[in-house]
Structure 1
């Protein structure tokens, strides 16, 4: 039986041709969609990280596009970076925590020199 591939996707949807440089209304709409989904999502300053099964993550991203198009956005460009691992389960916060831990280790090492 095949294993469901888990992924972390960093997504930034960019509505084009709105006549204004602000996209906060559209960001709020897709953020609400992400937060209402059963997937783990984390909003950050340049997009959203979505964690979950590959197919469900891609379906959610497609749904975000559909909703914005239905709301009158004619064109959307998305930047999507997707990572997968099969050796361990990892959540977005886990990756951040590792970097913070290593920064503390570097500070300790620099202080002992």
Structure 2
């Protein structure tokens, strides 16, 4: 299981991109096999890495379909193989040390 942070931003469409983010999240909502969390600066997705990448590819196309001519997508992957990795587990590990 992997945890992936993704930011998808159309370029040259003005200062507010919230409508594009919302449209991308509609694609993510259809992926019932993935967990996700919207944050102020990115979206964090938990699940099978191949499946996450497939959904990110679909999300990357959303701004183009809405008329954007250029899209920047940033992806950061945390893929741990020695034990189960979850968003909640990562937060809990830090909170236990506070």
How far off its partner does 1:70 sit?
A: 1.2
What residue number does 1:46 align with?
Answer: 41
For 1:45, what is the secondary structure of its paired residue? coil
Answer whether contact 2:3 2:44 (CA < 8 A) is retained.
yes
- 1:30 alignment counterpart: 24
**Gapped runs of 5+ residues in structure 1?**
1-5, 104-113
| 2:56 alignment partner, one of 61, 79, 85 | 61
Deviation at 1:35, TM superposition (A): 2.3
Runs of 4+ more than 2 Å apart:
none
1:86 deviates by: 0.9
Q: Which residue of 2 aligns with 1:3?
A: none
| Structure showing the higher helix proportion among its residues | 1
How much is the aligned-residue C-alpha RMSD, in angstroms? 1.1
Q: TM-score, normalised by structure 1?
A: 0.80
Which protein is bigger by CA-based radius of gyration? 1
* Correspondence list, 1:1-113, <5 A: 6-18=1-13, 20-38=14-32, 39-103=34-98
Paired residue secondary structure (1:49): strand
